[in-house]
Amino acid sequence: MGSSDIYDNEVYRRFYENLVPVLKGPNIRHMKLDTLRPLALQTATRTKFGSYGWRSSVSSRVAPRTVYLGSESVRLPRPTDLQRDLIENAPEELHRVLHLMRTLPFVCISRQMGQNDVYNPICNLYVSGADQKNYRIAYMWGNTVAKPSRRRPGPEFTMIHIPEEHQLRQQVLVLPEYNLNIALGTDYMGEDKKGFLRQAMWYADEHGMLGLHAGTKLVTVRDAKEGKLKTYGVFMFGLTATGKSTWACHQLGLRYEDGERTEVAQDDIVFLRQDGTALGTEVGFFVKTDVDEKLQEAMYHALIDSTALYENVMIDSDGNVDFLDESLTANGRAVIQREKLRIRRGRRLVGISSRSIDLSSLDDLDGIILAFITRRNTVMPFAIELTPEQAILAYLWGESTHSYASQPHRAGESVRIVGTDPFIIGSRARKTNRFYDIVMKLIDKYPGKVRFYQYNTGGVGEILETVTVGEIKKKRQIRKPVRVPINLMAAIQRGDLRGTNQYQRGRLGRDEIVYVEGHSLSEYDPSNFYSQEEIDDYIRDIFDGRRKFTEEIAEEGLKPEIVAAAERSLAAARRLRARVAFARAEEGASDESASAAPAAVGSESPPAESASSSGTEEQAGGPEEKAAEAARPGESKARLPRPRGWRQR
């Protein structure tokens, strides 16, 4: 059976038509947030902070069991066998949903995303009330978004959540063209949060915007060259649990007394417009709770406020909370209020949330920075300064690792997800193309005001081995990585904003950070942890993965300009590897002929701008590269598949 044969659009249409009157049934209680609260607290544990916590049976999203139903434009590009089974059986499951919606008691709460005059989706959540514990799902989610207002325009979305469905039929059914999401057999509140946000991103994409899986903030710093205070809008892209919330809320060690500061706008999802404006979505953040008070001060103060709502956080018999105890789950979560993000200044706690959840256009800022958070633990530099073309590829490749929040059984495994956004509905190429269009227009309209970085919040030195358990291959950690310290990552971001860091061309053909505020990062050089052969293997694996992933996304219709950029990047990587191999061979020959010569003593002073750092990826190679390519017949001629409609110019 072909992939298109498992869908039945007529069934989806009839289901929705039958559902509309059912949503007005007598078994559904429409409730406000304040009337839900006492019902939710009946099953909660009160903490010493005066806050409340609950436990869910399911502690992460059921991403492998999430499917999109509808026309070809919204379908999963490559459904797994499990997803194909869910799609094929969806008509029967939708019939069951109608029966449950008519039979079980439900509560409905309506809230609204956004605080702007353009796009503010009204979100209607229907949760089964057959089990009293489910009230906390509606209550927790209701605290992430605002009270509806008739003055704010927006489409209307619906989410149905039935935790009582049997776990053998656990799934999330998404019908984007009907603005409908259905979560079954799971009691994880994150399904509701992401269900509405996923729908909102798709709808935004359909109406000329671009939904981004990114946190946003305003950062004011004193520019090192001009000595003036400048304010930047910062986007932090990243997969779930890789540091979006942490770095959206972190103060970066800025000099508050000198006028420097960070003001938090959003921590998860925004909608990017053509003028660079980013529309926010939420007033409450659903954050991971593995927070250290000394290193993540603002988030810690929000977490210990009485307004915090915990899910799967360790609370002992006396109501004491241990945010770092992950004995029960590695995905402890909490809803915290944006307005409760505070830092201590003298004897006072000072709020750090921005006045608006939106970011202004570039007309009102000194610039914007688009930062891509990755989490790798081998040879990836802690920071890379990107050109616009490289930033497009960073968005395309979306390199990171799985987390306990998305796929616990694959936590720590390498992954590539376009835009670090696992909630894309339909073509991933279309998202990349839209990102390309917006970025190129912005850098053309605002020259010098748009900058790009990639930050690795992982580490260096990890060694994994593949083991087979039964018929399943798994990764086992042989050596733990040396993690990038939070204070060091803060210094890196601070230095980039002020303009004090130094970069030079590195192993990956990018400008990699080498000095942070005058301090060398040589102790984190991969050569301290691996042999050169191991480093080469890791780099080869990175670029092989990029090539395969680009080929996959190109089949969905990537712009020719993006395909060409990827080819240039991958070709430059081959030339770089060839130069390294040639230089190593020359060095070996030189050592044999001049083994008695004294070794030069390396200087600890910051390096001068290297000639290679100003070169382009398109530069032609020398004889050593030709020799290397000759040793790899066919590789240099391999080209990425052309997107649909591509024509040589």
Cβ atoms 625, 575 nearer than 8 A:
yes
- Computed over every residue of the chain, the mean pLDDT equals 89
Parallel/antiparallel/unpaired status of strands 278-279 and 269-272: antiparallel
User: What is the per-residue pLDDT across 106-141, written as a single tens digit (0 to 9) for each?
Assistant: 999 999 999 999 999 999 999 999 999 999 999 999
Residue 357 neighbours by CB under 8 Å, 6+ apart? 114, 115, 265, 266, 280, 281, 282, 283, 338
Q: Which of 36-40, 294-298, 482-486, 599-603 has the lowest mean pLDDT?
A: 599-603
Distance between CA atoms of residues 205 and 154, nearest Å: 14
Cβ atoms 369, 233 nearer than 8 A:
yes
Q: Which of 252-266, 359-373, 391-405 has the lowest mean pLDDT?
A: 391-405
Helix or strand run (H / E) with residue 349 = strand 348-351
As a whole-number percent, the residues of the chain with pLDDT over 70 amount to: 86
Domains and CATH numbers, the chain: 3-30+61-206 (3.40.449.10), 210-278+357-529 (3.90.228.20)
Note the pLDDT of residue 87: 98
198-216 burial code (b ≥16 CB/10 A, e <16): bbbbbbbbeeebbbbbbbb
Note the pLDDT of residue 649: 34
Note the pLDDT of residue 608: 42
For residue 476, CA distances in Å to 166, 235, 380 come to: 33, 34, 20
Note the pLDDT of residue 630: 37
Distance between CA atoms of residues 640 and 518, nearest Å: 41
Cβ atoms 159, 184 nearer than 8 A:
no
Q: Is the pLDDT of residue 386 over 60?
A: yes
Note the pLDDT of residue 150: 84
Average pLDDT over residues 400-404: 65
Instruction: Report the half-sphere exposure of 278 (CA within 13 A, side-chain side).
Output: 30
Note the pLDDT of residue 410: 59
Average pLDDT over residues 173-191: 98
User: What is the per-residue pLDDT across 216-274, written as a single tens digit (0 to 9) for each?
Assistant: 999 999 999 999 999 999 999 998 778 888 899 999 999 999 999 999 999 999 999 99
* Higher pLDDT among residues 199 and 585, named by residue: 199
3-state class (DSSP) for residue 34: helix
Distance between CA atoms of residues 253 and 271, nearest Å: 29
Distance between CA atoms of residues 411 and 580, nearest Å: 33
Alpha carbon of residue 582 to chain centroid: 38
Specify the DSSP class assigned to residue 526. G
Specify the DSSP class assigned to residue 121. -
User: What is the per-residue pLDDT across 24-35, written as a single tens digit (0 to 9) for each?
Assistant: 999 999 999 999
Average pLDDT over residues 58-82: 96
pTM given for the model: 0.88
Residue 411 neighbours by CB under 8 Å, 6+ apart? 330, 401, 402, 403, 404
What angle is formed at CA 231 by the lines to CA 226 and CA 232, rounded to 5 degrees?
110
User: What is the per-residue pLDDT across 282-314, written as a single tens digit (0 to 9) for each?
Assistant: 999 999 999 989 889 999 999 999 999 999 999
